[in-house]
Amino acid sequence: MNFSVLGAVAMLVSVVYAQTSQYCPSSGVCLTVNIPAAGSSNMFFQITGPSTMSYIAFGQGSKMSGSNMFIIYANSAGNNVTLSPRTTSGHSAPSASTSAALTLLAGSGITGGVMTANVLCTNCQSWSGGTMDFTSTKSSWIYGTKSGSALNTNSVSVSISQHDNYGSFSLNLATATGGNSANPFLTSSSVTTNSASSATSAAASKKAGSDDSNSSSSSSGGSSSDTSESRRETIVKAHGLMGAAAFVLAFPAGAIVLRVFNFKGLVWIHVAIQMLAYATSVAVLGLGLWLALAGEELMMAHPIIGIVVIGSLFFQPVLGLCHHIFYKRRRSPNAFTSPHIWWGRLFITLGIINGGLGLELTGDSTKIEIAYAAVAAIIWIVWMAVAFMAWRRKSHVQRASETGWPVERLESASEEMINIVRPKNTARAMPAREVSERIRTDGRVEVRK
């Protein structure tokens, strides 16, 4: 009898000793972590959440890039979960990782509308993108969830849509150590010493409402930094929208108006549009550098190209001013004319292309990337078509002047940039017919028999 009592007490002590640290970003979605013993390289974790979600993801690390992610979703039979270890660089969609040593333990499955994954990880102290100190009181984690229909697949590399709820948080692993169990989540009596709730981020914060308060508990093992993640998302959107406005809209528009219109002071309209576009691009560069430095992405193609483009465009207003000054003196193209035109075309085009690279880096949907590419291509083609037509007009008039027609220079802003000349109001007899030519003030040629 005494032995039975002692055994029961021993079992109770072992259960209580299985310490865990828990974080619940929203009602029903939780991550629970246990380190079996001090100095252990193993980590147990449990992910739970409603089966109405398409997937639930938690990851080690403070940001998506380089995170060691664990994603669960319904299997093909709909009665268990598929555990998919993934990682990514930048903010592109995560891809399956083959380096994670994970074991799906007993107790995992889908029951009563709840997905549960009990997992043992034997190499989660370090991975290709970082490390984690199992004695840390503030270990860094991220999460992301997606509402929608079940994936119902056994594939660990199935394509997943972008999350609609995400954030970052910290866990106290020092108080999650103990138990030395083969599966600390099998018994419902295990004690959770650390838990915390959080407000959801992005659009989901609007619909979480009072549900978030239901996941609160009295202790504070986890802490949230959803606000910083939401701020980063806001900066990403501002960076992208301002960049597109500058390179896809403003810069080409400033060049087009100079070829299409013709009135006094037009050149200063051109200058105002281009300077506004450049000021916007400098602000875009500042936001981009903040994002790149915060995410350790400075050496990626998108930020490098952005720095080169905006740095190179610094010389564009200088070249334009020099061209304008010398043109006023000589009434003809000069050494600064072609560099000003082609320098601008080259780096504005490169900036437009770099916008597409930025979209790819954020992992936005393919529809957004296609829409950007389509709009940017249409505007670029219109810009180049207008430039080509202006060049053709110039060539046509120059050929006319070479036949012996008297010509005079015009001083309008548009003609300054393309060096258009026009015949004087004279006419000459030509074999077989008489032709009178004139150039309207916008530089276009009309031929009337």
* 257 and 178 together in one domain: no
Q: Among the three residues 192, 224, 256, which one is the final residue of a domain in this structure?
A: 224
**Are both 39 and 165 inside the same structural domain?**
yes
Name the band, by pLDDT with cuts 50, 70 and 90, for residue 416.
low
Closest CA to 337 of 251, 445, 328, 396: 328
For residue range 60-72, list pLDDT tens digits in order: 998 888 899 999 9
Tokens of 353: 């292309």
The residue ranking higher by pLDDT, 163 or 151, is 151
Q: CA-to-CA distance for 228 and 190, rounded, in angstroms? A: 33
Classify 139 as helix, strand or coil.
Answer: strand
Identify the three-state secondary structure at position 142.
strand
Kindly state whether residue 424 falls inside one of the protein's structural domains.
no
- Identify whether 92 is part of a domain: yes
**Confidence check: pLDDT of 304 > 80:** yes
Same domain, yes or no, for 213 and 291?
no
Considering the domain architecture, whether residues 133 and 267 belong to the same structural domain is answered as no
- CATH number of the domain to which 197 belongs: 2.60.40.1210
pLDDT at position 442 is 42
> How many domains would you assign to the chain?
2
Closest CA to 56 of 178, 200, 174: 200
73 in any annotated domain: yes
If asked whether residues 333 and 260 sit together in one domain, one would say yes
Gap between the Cα atoms of 167 and 145, Å rounded? 10
Q: Between the ranges 36-45, 191-200, 224-233, where is the mean pLDDT highest?
A: 36-45
380 and 237 inside one domain = yes
Expressed as residue numbers, the domain containing 191 is: 17-224
What is the rounded CA–CA span in Å between residue 45 and residue 47? 7
Rounded to two decimals, the pTM is: 0.53
Query: In the listed set 224, 244, 259, which residue is the last one of a domain according to the structure?
Result: 224
Q: Quick one: pLDDT at residue 49?
A: 96
In the block, residue with structure tokens 């119902």: 152
Burial 59-78 (b: 16+ CB within 10 A, else e): bbbbbbbbbbbbbbbbbeee
More confident position, 413 or 254: 254
Give the model's pLDDT for residue 334.
Answer: 83
Q: Is residue 196 domain-shared with residue 286, that is, in the same domain?
A: no
Q: Residue 114 falls within a domain, yes or no? A: yes
Tokens 């003609």 correspond to: 415
Query: Do 247 and 390 fall into the same domain?
Result: yes
Q: Does 41 share its domain with 155?
A: yes
Could you tell me the CATH number of the domain that includes residue 290?
A: 1.20.120.1770
State whether 246 and 373 are in the same domain.
yes
Does residue 55 lie within any of the structural domains? yes
If you average pLDDT over residues 324-345, what whole number do you get?
84
Write down the mean pLDDT value for the chain. 78
Top-confidence residue, 244 or 368? 244
Q: Is residue 58 part of a domain?
A: yes
Q: What is the pLDDT of residue 397?
A: 61
Please say which residue of 354, 380, 396 terminates a domain. 396
What string of DSSP letters covers 316-349? HHHHHHHHHHHHHHHSS--TTHHHHHHHHHHHHH
The H-or-E segment that residue 32 falls in is: strand 29-34
Same domain, 266 and 385: yes
**pLDDT for residue 324:** 80
CB 119 within 8 A of CB 47: yes
Task: With respect to residue 347, please indicate whether it lies within any of the assigned structural domains.
Answer: yes
Look at residue 427 and tell me if it is in a domain: no
Tokens linked to 398: 């120059």
Same domain? 171 vs 313: no
Residue 436 tokens read as 């009178």
